[in-house]
Structure 1
Amino acid sequence: MTIIKRTCATCAAFNPTASGDDPTCANLVSIRIHHVDAQDLPIVIRQQPNAAFWCDDHQTHEEEAAKDVAIGRFWQRLGNEQKGQQ
């Protein structure tokens, strides 16, 4: 069994060469940093994930491929059921 550190760097959705308005995460995950200002008012700062960030949406390329195969089989079954019912 291969153990992979789950970070953006190992995620299939990570775009390390994002520029301009392109997101670094194809899952559109953003990091929320909560602070308070000098008057103790809450401030939320949002930023794009970096290679060392971690979240629950990470999938390796192998997991992404397995998910695509499973979705394809599901749709294929739906298509076969529809043809059989007509």
Structure 2
Amino acid sequence: MPVESTQKMAGIQIASNPEKADEKRDEEESEARIVEEEMKQYKKWMESRDELIKKADQKGMSEVRIASLMGHSRNTVRKSLHRG
């Protein structure tokens, strides 16, 4: 059975349970890793999107046409074309 302690902080009693705190920290770290992985996948998707936009531009397709076909704004297409 976990040992609980009570602390007073600014007149408020706070019950602490080290095992629950560890579980909560582990859960938060796990959620952070999941979000980090999603962000890495998004970055790869963005890179492939930009490559496709550049390829269409090289084939002579207009920014408006690319935007229309990809479901992006013309400004998004323009920014993609001007990235390094």
Interval containing the TM-score (normalised by the shorter chain):
0.3 to 0.5
Q: Which has the higher contact order (CA 8 A, sep 6+)?
A: 1
**TM-score, normalisation: structure 2:** 0.41
Larger Rg: 2
Determine which structure has the larger helix proportion and give its number. 2
